[in-house]
Amino acid sequence: MRRFDSDYLEGCLPEILEALSRSNLEQTPGYGEDPHCGNARRLIKEACGTPDAEVHFLVGGTQTNATVISSILRPWQGVVCADTGHINVHETGAIEHSGHKVMALPSREGKISAEQVKAAIEGHFNDANHEHMVQPGMVYISYPTEAGTLYGKSELRAISEVCRKAGVPLFLDGARLGYGLMSPSNELTLKDIASLVDVFYIGGTKQGALFGEAVVFTDTRLGKDFRYNIKQNGGMLAKGRLLGIQFETLFTDGLYLRAAGHAIRQAAKIREIFAGKGYRFLSDSPTNQQFPILPNGLVASLHAEFGFEDWCAIDGDHTAVRFCTSWATTDEAIKELAAAIPQRA
Amino acid sequence: MRRFDSDYLEGCLPEILEALSRSNLEQTPGYGEDPHCGNARRLIKEACGTPDAEVHFLVGGTQTNATVISSILRPWQGVVCADTGHINVHETGAIEHSGHKVMALPSREGKISAEQVKAAIEGHFNDANHEHMVQPGMVYISYPTEAGTLYGKSELRAISEVCRKAGVPLFLDGARLGYGLMSPSNELTLKDIASLVDVFYIGGTKQGALFGEAVVFTDTRLGKDFRYNIKQNGGMLAKGRLLGIQFETLFTDGLYLRAAGHAIRQAAKIREIFAGKGYRFLSDSPTNQQFPILPNGLVASLHAEFGFEDWCAIDGDHTAVRFCTSWATTDEAIKELAAAIPQRA
Amino acid sequence: MRRFDSDYLEGCLPEILEALSRSNLEQTPGYGEDPHCGNARRLIKEACGTPDAEVHFLVGGTQTNATVISSILRPWQGVVCADTGHINVHETGAIEHSGHKVMALPSREGKISAEQVKAAIEGHFNDANHEHMVQPGMVYISYPTEAGTLYGKSELRAISEVCRKAGVPLFLDGARLGYGLMSPSNELTLKDIASLVDVFYIGGTKQGALFGEAVVFTDTRLGKDFRYNIKQNGGMLAKGRLLGIQFETLFTDGLYLRAAGHAIRQAAKIREIFAGKGYRFLSDSPTNQQFPILPNGLVASLHAEFGFEDWCAIDGDHTAVRFCTSWATTDEAIKELAAAIPQRA
Amino acid sequence: MRRFDSDYLEGCLPEILEALSRSNLEQTPGYGEDPHCGNARRLIKEACGTPDAEVHFLVGGTQTNATVISSILRPWQGVVCADTGHINVHETGAIEHSGHKVMALPSREGKISAEQVKAAIEGHFNDANHEHMVQPGMVYISYPTEAGTLYGKSELRAISEVCRKAGVPLFLDGARLGYGLMSPSNELTLKDIASLVDVFYIGGTKQGALFGEAVVFTDTRLGKDFRYNIKQNGGMLAKGRLLGIQFETLFTDGLYLRAAGHAIRQAAKIREIFAGKGYRFLSDSPTNQQFPILPNGLVASLHAEFGFEDWCAIDGDHTAVRFCTSWATTDEAIKELAAAIPQRA
């Protein structure tokens, strides 16, 4: 069985296992106050070009989203996002659990536009009954999006401008950030992102770490007392150094981007396999998730040999499916997949 | 200035003021444990044909919705409703504040269908990732809806069947219940409603009381410890008898329906005024809210003499507005309105 | 049966009923934006000597406490108070429901001291593990306290100074404020209170209104967007004018304090009845609640003729009970009580 | 520097690192649905003698407590515990964040008694105002307690009986469970515990794992839909197998108890060092945490060479401190400590 179900099928990059082994008997303080975390913070701030940013490490994506969002919003505020946004669909209501409405906007291939954001914010405050409605208190976008797509530089800049003009913080979910940065379609550097958003996170879990997400507050006022909130949300890892060691490793010698680059190249091969045999795609994804649309018969037969996710029904006879790649995707797996895909009828 | 902005522009039905005056110096226990509340409960259960129901009194609609819904749902569950539902739009996120997602479905004139509800519930449990998504834990509908429309008997029965089959409680928001029951288009009795839903409320605030909503749990298991939850949600009125006295009065000699009937007749006159002069409507409402679509120039000039609400923009030149009637709407007001409306160009 | 169970046994002051009747057919906007609310706000700000304060009206005490506290605290903060504080004991966890710990300090006759507050705040920030503990984010006191006692001027000033130095807002629960202001032991004017605390409320429910509490933000930054939070907490009364009319009436011609003064005089008579016959008291209350300690046999026999609350067991044979007075407590009731109390054995 | 600050100073038991390396390139499904988790569940149920229990894996203790407690309580319920309980003191209000009051009882060396629990529950329901108070909905105890002490078999049985009679679930926090089971003072087997409580967890983080806690629901009704709640609380690890692999390793060949036994022996040596030199202790702890009371001068000088935690001031001149041991505590470290402790003056 060759699996392409997700980008977290294996353990971790070998460099990370080595670093964990090497440091195993060191004695360090807990809760992220150890030298490894300190070093990882320094490396990340350097990579982002933000010496004054605040960097915090959390364990997983849902936890990170809920902790960041609940740190920023007042009780009567909600977070504006794409209807396909992870926080709206796949977090079992973690945001609502913290008391806040997810204010979903219709999306296009996983993206929302500056115009939509502007209309949502202005529409709220212009409504005579606005005090009876949830106040838009921040904006959440994903890069890459859940559909694998990317915001262009002008698109992100436009959203950023709308948010700053309105005084509404902009949060970028970078669970797969490296895959975005290494995509041939990418127009943004890490420094661009750091300068355009107020807080974002650099995903580890889906990019070769055992687990871990690094939150970067470029607007440090939003991060005040954030460690309290991490603890309250159950995200304060006792052996916090595990996060430090992993991000230290990822941000040394370019490992983070190198590993992502491998995944991007493997994904491109998968895209070519399906495109070359005549299949269409749910979205035009230049990143590590590919969403070909397949006849249901093929979906069923492929599942016998390959792991992948059924994403959504297209019509009675066709399903969009998701193939993911990662640092660990082998050429052999790709070849076997290529051999198994017939020309489209 | 003649106002049609809402159905809570005046104080209350004179019978209620009289009852409050008459009882003013009685000494009673607080928190709804007085004889007036007891009597009102009895009268309401009689009217609903549900001798075993549990009846509780709360102050307002948002409070009632939040308290009922948070009593029923587990933390990871949400409430399915129309996207136009009051809980989704006009309660400043009170449901999310209690930790639950409002799972909005696209609506048609304020209504959702049994098919939609079935698809939402089955779609959830059939999804391989359902544990990563909010579980539909109850269904909320309004009668009349926020668009003034009514579910037919077969429509409500179908939704009820879907819910009971799935083991998902059905909650009916009856903030304007009397206006539904007295509408010429109404197909449901109070007893029908009580037998088809698991919990509902009978609105007082918008139907001639100073304030107050009567919650009826026909499935009394859902009402276990409900008084604790009323208190926690700030809805336990110290002088609870004020609610008892008002509902006692409303459910004596048919006052509740009689007052609603007056409003319905006045609303019909308003509908005829606009329809007779060639205007279209946002929804085909047979209840006390009417939504004519007017040219923006007329909207502006009418506002100088009449109170009404701008509901939503239809296009650059037209706006749907809302006129409400109540027990207190006079013939004079209607006549003045008629005189002010020109034939549609 | 003569009842002294609480200070909300009757309806309301006759002046309020008259004002409601007089205004009943006026048409006004909802939600507290009517002229009566405007006028009541003006009268209250005048009485408090705070022309720039923000005044909001809510329905009940638990609702008011939860709404004010959740408006001020960040998620990881809690509210410091006396262990006997209403928010700690008698609100069914409304504060915790909004996500915040009630940080109870041991109290003395319902009071806490500036030293305790200082130690709680400094102790927190000096603790090496403070990020693992709830951060004290505000202080709550009651005036009068739940034990009927009063803070002296120097006591309140000291607490205020500690709070201001620490940047921690001070909130005063004045559910029975008038009874404090009219007590012969009172050392504080309404203006003193307004100048020493950051937000407080003036209770109506327990002082002759049908219901209603007036929140005064002297630090208006704390009240930003407070109307959203009222709505989210189910406290935005549709017919908000009912609150305006009541407070307008209470703050016209000194009615609020006059009514409280009557209650204070009647309470003094009750205190003299018990003290004169040799009974001790749970607390030395100079306000409208009296807590004599009675032998259990007497408690049982008195309950046949009088309403009062069993407050707490003192030992196997004695119980502290509570007698309350209000604007409506008659001389006849007091006389009958006097006649029923035997000399202490 | 020799550190005894906590039991999570190092990485993990070497066996765990080996297992992680060995399995690193396996492809498995995420979220705890992999074969390692399955195997670990089987091993734990076997060890507990509860073939029908439900076992779930979470990342850390605060997260586990908040997720278990919020799964069990209704909104108006709270959790009864010792005032020293971890959930009351050191979780930054995570329980209150989920909406529930922590109902702290005075403790004795970290323990509460069956009598106290009974009085808390009965006292609540016997109070005439119980609907105005938080309802006790479950009981939380720690084994070992935060003071390092242990419940005797008859003590735990008595608490269990009170809870079962009252229908109130009993939850045991076993963050350091192994240290309890391996203590010479221990009277309970894992099977005893499993039969006396309704849900408990077996701690990994503080006992040689990188991280991880295994929740065992012996009353499986309490665990219904628990995976939804794990996800909502941000505890659903994408690479869930990391938890499975660790607990698989810990519960193979007795590693879990063997590692705990080492810590217990080292802690006994530390106790003897201090006791032998005349020092008293804050609590009589037979587990891996020792709390000697030292003069402040000694505390200061020791900190130059040793890591340990200042626990609480005893008087102006003395402080109780905490020394912890773990699987990794070496004989050398103990010897150096012994050499550094002077005879008590």
Q: Say what the pLDDT of residue D235 is.
A: 98
Number of C-beta neighbours around residue A289 at 10 A: 27
How many alpha carbons lie under 13 Å from residue C181 in its C-beta half-sphere? 22
Contact by Cβ (8 Å): C264, C179: yes
Query: Taking the model in full, what pTM does it have?
Result: 0.97
Contact C172, C141 (CB under 8 A): yes
CA dihedral in degrees (D324, D326, D332, D338; nearest 10)? Answer: 30
Q: How far apart are CA A268 and CA B95, in angstroms?
A: 44
* Residue ranges of chain C assigned to CATH 3.90.1150.10: 2-7+255-340
ipTM: 0.97
Segment C247-273 shows an average pLDDT of 98
Instruction: Say whether the peptide bond before residue A144 is cis (omega within 30 degrees of 0).
Output: yes
Mean pLDDT of chain C: 98
Distance CA A93, CA A301 (A): 34
> Are B62 and C236 within 8 A, CB to CB?
yes
Q: Using the beta-carbon criterion (under 8 Å), do C227 and A99 form an inter-chain contact?
A: no
- What pLDDT does residue A118 have? 98
- Beta strand pairing status for D213-217 and D199-203? antiparallel
Give the number of residues written for chain B. 345
Q: How confident is the model at residue B345 (pLDDT cuts 50, 70, 90)?
A: confident
CA-based nearest residue to B63, from B203, B225, B183, B164: B203
CATH number of the domain located at residue range(s) A14-250 in this protein: 3.40.640.10
Q: Phi/psi of residue B184, each to 5°? A: -60, -20
- Positive or negative, the CA dihedral B178, B180, B184, B186 is negative
CB contact under 8 A, A76 and C135: no
Judge whether D97 is closer than 8 Å to chain C, CB to CB. Answer: yes
- Residue C182 sits at the vertex; the CA angle it makes with C181 and C186, to the nearest 5 degrees, is 60
Is residue C254 within 8 angstroms of chain A, CB to CB?
A: no
Start-end ranges of CATH 3.40.640.10 in chain D? 14-250
Tell whether the model's pLDDT for residue B236 goes beyond 90.
Answer: yes
pLDDT digits (tens, 9 = 90+) for C178-222: 999 999 999 999 999 999 999 999 999 999 999 999 999 999 999
**Which pLDDT value is given to residue A345?**
84
Q: What is the mean pLDDT of residues B226-242?
A: 98
Q: How confident is the model at residue A305 (pLDDT cuts 50, 70, 90)?
A: very high
pLDDT tens digits, A20-49: 999 999 999 999 999 999 999 999 999 999
Q: Do C71 and A71 touch (CB under 8 A)?
A: no
CA distance C318 to C335: 24
Q: Per-residue pLDDT averaged across B236-242, rounded?
A: 98
Nearest-CA neighbor of C177 among C145, C199, C135, C153?
C145
Q: SS3 for B112-148, per residue?
A: CCHHHHHHHHHHHHHCCCHHHCCEEEEEEEECCCCCC
pLDDT of A133 reads 98
Which residues of chain D make contact with C97, given a CB cutoff of 8 A?
Answer: 75-76, 99
Question: Residues D225-279: pLDDT tens digits?
Answer: 999 999 999 999 999 999 999 999 999 999 999 999 999 999 999 999 999 999 9
Answer yes or no: are the C-beta atoms of A282 and A107 closer than 8 Å: no
Whether the per-residue pLDDT at A333 is higher than 90: the answer is yes
For A113-165, the pLDDT digits (tens) are 999 999 999 999 999 999 999 999 999 999 999 999 999 999 999 999 999 99
Q: Which of A89, A132, A309 sits opposite B133 (nearest CB)?
A: A89
The C-alpha of B330 sits at a distance from chain D's nearest C-alpha, in angstroms, of: 44
If you search the block for the tokens 């009062």, which residue do you land on? C308
Contact flag B91-A132 (C-beta cutoff 8 Å): yes
Closest CA to C158 of C132, C187, C124, C129: C187
State which amino acid sits at residue C191.
K
Q: How far is C272 from chain A (nearest CA, A)?
A: 49
Identify all chain C residues contacting A76, using CB atoms and an 8 Å cutoff: 225, 228-229, 231-232
**pLDDT of amino acid B204:** 98
Q: How far is A78 from chain B (nearest CA, A)?
A: 8
Contact (CB<8Å) B75/D132:
no
Of A71, A75, A229, the CB nearest to C232: A75
B276 CA: distance to closest CA in chain A (Å): 30
C74, closest residue in chain D (CA to CA): D97
Question: Three-state SS for B55?
Answer: strand
C308: left (phi over 0), alpha (psi -120 to 50) or beta: beta
Q: Is the pLDDT of residue D345 over 90?
A: no
- Cα angle C138-A98-D55, degrees, rounded to a multiple of 5: 120
Nearest to C99 among D89, D96, D131 (CB): D96
Per-residue CA distances from B171 to B109, B160, B215, D179 (Å)? 19, 10, 10, 50
* C21 interfaces chain B, CB cutoff of 8 Å: yes
* Nearest-angstrom CA–CA distance, A187 and A194: 14
Q: How many CB atoms lie within 10 A of CB C254?
A: 11
Distance CA C161, CA D125 (A): 41
In our burial notation (b when 16+ CB lie closer than 10 A, e otherwise), range A83-111 reads ebbbbbbbbbbbbbbbbbbbbbbebebbb
Percent of chain A scoring above 70 in pLDDT: 100
Spell D319-338 as b/e; 16+ CB within 10 A means b: bbbbbbbbbbbeeebbeebe
pLDDT tens for D321-343 read 999 999 999 999 999 999 999 99
Cβ–Cβ of B76/D225 closer than 8 Å?
yes
User: What are the φ and ψ backbone dihedral angles of D54, each rounded to 5 degrees?
Assistant: -110, 130
Distance in angstroms (rounded) separating the CA atoms of residues D73 and B109: 38
Superfamily classification of domain B2-7+255-340 = Aspartate Aminotransferase, domain 1 (3.90.1150.10)
Q: How far apart are CA A246 and CA A255, in angstroms?
A: 11
Percent of chain B whose predicted confidence (pLDDT) is above 70: 100
> What is the pLDDT averaged over residues A83-105?
98
Asked if C76 and A232 come within 8 Å (Cβ–Cβ), the reply is yes
CB contacts of D3 in chain A (<8 Å) are: 27
Instruction: Point out the residue among A9, A17, A328 whose CB comes nearest to the CB of D21.
Output: A17
Q: C232 and B97 in contact by Cβ < 8 A?
A: yes
What size, in residues, is chain A?
345
Interface check for B72 against chain C (CB to CB < 8 A): the answer is no
Of C74, C124, C222, C224, which to mutate for an interface test with A (greatest number of A Cβ within 10 Å)?
C74
Angle formed at CA B165 by CA B159 and CA B167, multiple of 5 degrees: 100
**pLDDT score, position C345:** 84
Q: Answer whether D11 touches A (CB < 8 Å).
A: yes
Provide the 3-class DSSP secondary structure of residue A28.
coil
For residue A194, pLDDT beyond 90? yes
Q: Taking residues C248-260, what's their average pLDDT?
A: 98
**Does any CB of chain B come closer than 8 Å to the CB of residue D221?**
no
Q: Given CA atoms B155, B159, B162, B164 in this order, what sign does their dihedral have?
A: negative
Of B75, B128, B309, the CB nearest to A97: B75
> B89 vs chain A: nearest CA distance in angstroms?
6
CB atoms within 10 A of CB D113: 16
Q: How confident is the model at residue D113 (pLDDT cuts 50, 70, 90)?
A: very high
Assess C71–A contact: CB distance below 8 Å, yes or no: yes
Q: Cβ contacts (< 8 Å) between D228 and chain B: which residues?
A: 76, 131, 135
Query: In which element (H, E) is residue C239 found?
Result: none
Residues of A (112-131) whose Cβ lies below 8 Å from B: 128-129, 131
Q: B76 and D132 in contact by Cβ < 8 A?
A: no
Q: Is B14 within 8 Å of chain C by CB? A: yes
Q: Do B225 and D74 lie within an 8 Å CB cutoff?
A: yes
Residue from B12, B17, B7, B10 nearest B326 by CA: B7
Q: Contacts of residue C11 in chain B, CB cutoff 8 Å?
A: 20, 23-26, 239, 241-242
Q: How far apart are CA B275 and CA B285, in angstroms?
A: 12
Partners for D (CB, 8 Å, 3+ pairs)? A, B, C
CA–CA distance, D174 with D186 (Å, rounded to integer): 14
Mean pLDDT of C51-67: 98
Rounded CA-CA distance B243/B16 in Å is: 10
Enumerate the residues of chain C whose CB falls inside 8 A of the CB of residue A99. Answer: 99
- Cβ atoms of residues B337 and B272 within 8 Å: no
Distance separating alpha carbons of residues C46 and C197, to the nearest angstrom: 17
Report pLDDT digits (tens) over D177-190: 999 999 999 999 99
CB contact under 8 A, A135 and C228: yes
Q: List chain D residues with CB under 8 Å of B131.
A: 31, 227-228, 231, 236
3-state secondary structure of A184: coil
Tell me which residue in D97, D205, D241 faces A232 most closely, judged by beta carbons. Answer: D97
Judged by CB atoms closer than 8 Å, whether chains meet at D90 and C132 is answered as yes
